[in-house]
Each structure stands twice: as structure tokens, then as C-alpha cells.
Structure 1
Amino acid sequence: MRLSILDQVPLTEHTPTPADAIASGLHLAQEGEALGYHRIWYAEHHHSASFASPAPEIMTALALERTKRIRVGTGGILLPLYPVQKVVEVMSMLTQAHGDRVDTGVGRAALNDPDYGEKIAHLVHGLGSLHEPTPGEPPGRVWVLGAGGSTAPLAGGLGSGYVHGHFFVPHGGEAAMAAYRAAAEPEHMPHTVLAVRAIAAETSERAQQLADAMLLWRARKDLGNDGPIPSADTTAEHVWSEQERTRAKARAKAIIAGTPDQVYTELAALADAHGADEVMINTLTSDPADRHASYRLLAERFAV
């Protein structure tokens, strides 16, 4: 099973400025390549106090310049915000400059766009002729991101890859991936990726401390207090409100935390249940050292 990275370029107590967060994200691309990860993608967020990447295509370009082998891409460009032709031209330039390791992942988040399906079709057509597909990859390197399941058959019918955001909605992925595969033509080489939020540490206790910090951040965000990812020390000293505990309990289902063996077992089971060809791991920690350690431990356990 392939293992990949989804980086949201988080703002944290340890990386409080966008410059800090961007530098950490680019360093992660280099470390991910050295560890043997298949790809790294950068997410898109606007007006966020938690994340520092409003332009994933720029992060992709910067990471491509700093790496040689790992696939790099957008996870994803919010397609409702842009003319399709602009996305085609930008991603085409990156492919022309860096060859056949550029991925174009697109999504719509909560944005409504009645022309979304037509835009993806245009995107697949515009990028599909740029290069020949390699084994296990869909033609054109276009990927559709989804969480509710409605875009899965659309992706299958158009011949793109499909990524299910388990970390966003930790249920319904099995049905979505089945619908994608049912709609896909064999010649399109259907390929599914499961995006999961996970953290590994040397001990389960340390992993839970780091997971608690993620949950405190997420609970605060749900309650309207968007901000940087807190450190494990800050979280340990925090007096949780009842509302925060309720939100954290609900969000805990979307995080896998433990030793490398424990995380491996859960990820492998999730991948098997979904029929996923690849698992893309998203890890949010305040200290980049904890994040890099988690990716290293999992790379070693998965023997990527």
C-alpha cells in the first residue's frame, strides 16, 4: 500500500507566522522524499488563523524545486473560485518544468458551483494529453477530492482519481469509493486515496498527548475560535470547557493515534475496508519535530 502526505501548512505555537509554516511545509517535502513517501499535497485555505497556504499551486512549485522524486501536487485547488483555463495553464507549466510528477487535486469544500462537474471534465480534458500515465495512476494526474460521496461517481465517470477525506467525514467512505469504482472505466485505471488524520509516537501516551492538542484546536475551531495548533504542554495545562469536551469527543473519531504498530493496524484496516489503493496521512502538531517524527515512524513501520 502506498503512503503519502497531506500538508495543510499549519500555523502553530512553534511556527506562528506564515513564513515559519511555509518553511516547515517545504522541509517536510524533502523529508518525505527521503523517507520514501509516494507524494505530498498541499491544501488550500483562505482567511484562516490555522493554516498558511491559500495557494497550493505555489507551494507545489516551491516543493518541486526542492525535491527530485516525490510526486507533488494540490490537495486541493478550490475549483469553484477559479476559471478552469487558469488552473490548466498553471498546472501545465509545472508539468512542463518538472516533468511527470505533478498532481492536480481539486475540490469544492462547502462552495456551491452548479458548473462543478463541467469544470472537472474540462480539467481532465485539458490536462489529460500532457503526459502518458504510469502504472497505478489515472491518466492526466487529475484527482477529485470528496467527503460526502456525491463527487465519487462523477470522478469515476470522468476518469480522474478519487480521494476521500476521512479526516473530514470519518464515515461513508466505503460507499463513496464503491460508487467511484462502479462508475470508472477500466481503461481509466481507477485509483483511490484515503486521506486520514493520524499521529504516531514512540509511546501511546505521547501520541495521545499530541492527539489531544489536535482535538483542542479542532474543538475551539468548531466553537468559533479559530487559531494556531496548540502545543502538547499548553493542552495539558488547559482547563477544558464542557462544550470543548463535547466537540473533542465527536472529533476524536477522525484521528488515529498511537505507537507505529497501533497506527499501522488501524490504517491497514481502514484501507482494506475502503478498498483504498493509497493512504494519505495528515498530521497536525505544534512542534514540527513531532510531526516529522510521526512520518518517520510510520514510514519505517510501513517499510515505504
Structure 2
Amino acid sequence: MTLTLSVLDQSPVAAGADAARAVRDTVRLARAVDPLGYRRYWVAEHHGSASFAGTSPAVQAAVLLQHTAQMRIGTGGVLLPRHDPVQVAETFHLLADLHPGRVDLGLGRAGGPAYTFPGKLELLRDSLARLRGARGGGTGPGVWLLGSGTTAAELAGQHGIGYCAGHFLNPAASGPALAGVRAVSSAAPLILAVRVFVAATSERAQAQAADYLLWRSRKDLGAQEPLPRSGHAAQHRWSAAECERAAQNRRAIVVGDPSEVRTQLTALAARHGVEEIMVNTLLPDLGERVRTYELLAAAFDLRPVDAIAAT
């Protein structure tokens, strides 16, 4: 099986830095990985977060489309319950008019009353169809649903649209969610989003993962903080509660040197029956994030893709 790789960037804020630096680093990272052979580059939506700076993925997507040439650019995702579906449709259809074949619209159910999501999704899809007619055609954006359970997966299957399973949020639910999509629609494209720490040596990757696990464990216990600087975990005096949370969260990440990570990701893809993995890595240093994607591109022998053809 030939595995396609993509990127999910959450615009992480590093300790001692600020949100402005984080969103500029997202642009720098996208420019660095664009020639490497990744199919997509998606940005996330977070609000009131000390850890993540991307509050408007539509704005970020517009900027990234101007700074890249090969990858499809999209959202992972727009939190539809927070937004007017007609405006979202108009914004992303306009982006797709400006950058034909390169725009993905990934949608999440968080951010508002979940019961509004199915109706808003219907309105958004109707609006996109009307826009295609009114604007003389065009493909519009590729529409995807994102989820860490079965609800969004069922909707994706019913509508026959793409589904991205958040393995890094809930690994146990990814298999049932993807199976639920396939049970309704065999044609719906599928992606598995995985959090990965890869370095030239397994020891360095483990150290990166330890810093992340400290941040994640403290977040679970109520501390809203930027990502700790490299090496912080090795100097930290872990509490019993932090150790317990770290053991749980470790199940949701892939860690190792390039060969080890290639083996793990290939096995995950085969187990879940997907041909595309969307890689997320939470590292405070931009250089290490760039190096992560360079190492993965080399390990998987990626080649630059024609984004318009690789939908």
C-alpha cells in the first residue's frame, strides 16, 4: 500500500513566545513542507487557548494559499456551530475560485450546541451547490467532516463526503468511526489524523514526546499553558496524577526514529483501512517541526504532488 501523508498544524504557542509568533510560524512551516510531497496542509480553530493561536482558520487558509503552490490547503477544522453556514460557504467557495482544486473545508461539531450541526451542514452544502450554479460552475472546496467519535462519521457517510478521524484525540474510537462511514458510503474518502514525534534517534523522539506528555497531562488536570521548552520534562518533578495521565495519553501518539515511525504509521493505516495519514506534531521549536516533516518525507519517499489532481 502506498501511504499518502498530510499535515495538521494547530499553530502551537511556545513558552516565552506569543500567539503572533505562532501564526507566523505556521506560514513558515507551510512554505517549508510544500515542496516535500505532502498532500494537504490543514489549520485548526481554537479560542481562548494559551496553547494554540489559530482563531480563524479561514484567514489562515487564505494566507497559506498565497504562500504555497502544491499542497491542498484547508481547515481541521472550522467549528461550524460557531458560524453562519452561508458565510462559510461563500468564503470557501471564493477561496476555491481563486485557487482551483487546492481548497479543503474541514468542519468540526465543537464550539456550540452540537444539535445545530446537522442542520447547519445541510445549509452549508445547499449554499455551496447554489454558489456553483450562480458563479458559473467551478469545483468549490472539498468538504470534510472531522470527529473523534461516531456521530460526525455517520453524517459523513450519509452525505458521501470525506471524513477525518482524530486518532490523536480518541484512538479507541477511530476504528468504529471509520467503519461507520464505510457501512453507509464506500466512496467517501477517509483520513486518520495521528500525533507523531520523530527524530533522527529514538532517544531524541522520546524526549520530545516526554515534553508533550507533560504539557498534555497538566492540561488534563486543568493547567492551560503554552508548550514547554525542549527538555523541560526531564527537569520536572512529576506528580502521581501527571504520571497517570501521561500513561493514558501515550497510547494516542506515535514515537520513534524515522524507520520506527514508518513501521508504526503503516501498521496503523493498514489496521484502519486508510490510505492517508494526517500528521500532527506539537513541538515548541519551529526548526524541530520542520525537521519532523523532512524526516517523514524521506522515510516514506514522498514526491511533490500535483494538488489539483490529488483531491
Q: TM-score range by the shorter chain?
A: over 0.9
Aligned position for 2:30: 29
The residue that corresponds to 1:7 in the other structure is 9
Q: Which runs of 5+ in 1 are unaligned?
A: 133-138
Contact 2:45 2:76 in 1 (8 A): yes
Equivalent of 2:250 in 243, 249, 252: 252
1:192–1:276 Cα contact (<8 Å) kept = yes
Q: Which residue of 2 aligns with 1:103?
A: 104
Matched residue, 2:126: 125
> Quick one: distance in 1 between partners of 2:148 and 2:114?
16
Aligned to 1:202: 200
| TM-score normalised by structure 1 residue count | 0.93
C-alpha contact (below 8 Å) 1:127/1:142 kept by paired residues: no
- Counterparts in 2 of 1:192-271, with a 5 A limit? 192-271=190-269
- 104 and 147 in structure 1: CA distance in 2 versus 1, 3 angstrom threshold: same
Give the superposition deviation at 1:97: 1.5
Instruction: Say yes or no: does 1:172 pair with 2:179.
Output: no
Give the aligned partner of residue 149 of structure 2.
148
Give the whole-Å Cα distance in 1 for the aligned partners of 2:262 and 2:295: 10
Q: Which moved more, 1:152-161 or 1:231-240?
A: 231-240
- In percent, how many aligned pairs have the same letter? 42
Give the whole-Å Cα distance in 1 for the aligned partners of 2:126 and 2:39. Answer: 25
Give 1:136's aligned residue. none
Matched, 1:295 2:293: yes
Match of 2:43 in 1: 42
The aligned counterpart of 2:80 is 79
CA distance in 1, matches of 2:264, 2:124: 35
Secondary structure of the residue aligned to 1:65 is helix
Distance of 2:123 and 2:161 partners within structure 1: 12
Listed one character per residue, the Cα deviations across residues 119-177 of structure 1 (whole Å, up to 9, x for unaligned) are: 22222333354534xxxxxx851000010112112111112100000000011211111
Q: Secondary structure, in 3 states, of the residue corresponding to 1:3?
A: strand
Q: TM-score, normalised by structure 2?
A: 0.91
Runs of at least 4 residues of structure 1 off by over 2 A?
Answer: 109-113, 121-132
Counterpart of 1:158 in structure 2 is: 159
Match of 2:113 in 1: 112
Post-superposition Cα deviations, 1:28-57, rounded to whole Å, max 9, x if no partner, equal: 111121111101000000000000001111
Preserved contact between residue 163 and residue 192 of structure 1 (Cα < 8 Å):
yes
Partner letter of residue 204 of structure 1? Answer: S
Deviations, residues 94-125 of structure 1 (Å, cap 9, x unaligned): 11122220000000236433231122222233
1:184-237 deviations in Å (ceiling 9; x for gaps):
1x5xx3100000000110111000000011101101111111111112222211
Residues 40, 72 of structure 2: 8 Å contact kept: yes
The farther-off stretch of 254-263 and 111-120 is 111-120
Instruction: Show CA shifts across 1:245-304 (max 9, x none).
Output: 111111111111100111111111111111113100000111111111111101111111
Distance 1:249 1:264 in 2: 23
Mapped to 1, the partners of 2:260 and 2:191 lie a distance apart of 21
Can you give the 5+ residue segments of structure 2 that lack an aligned partner in the other structure? 303-311
For residues 240 and 125 of structure 1, the distance between their equivalents in structure 2, rounded to whole angstroms, comes to 52
Offset of 1:61 from its aligned partner? 0.6
Residues 63-104 of structure 1 deviation map (CA, whole Å, 9 limit, x = unaligned): 001011110011100000111001101111111122220000
Secondary structure (helix, strand or coil) at the match of 2:231 reads: helix
Looking at structure 2, the residues matched to 193 and 123 of structure 1 have their Cα atoms a distance apart, in angstroms, of 22
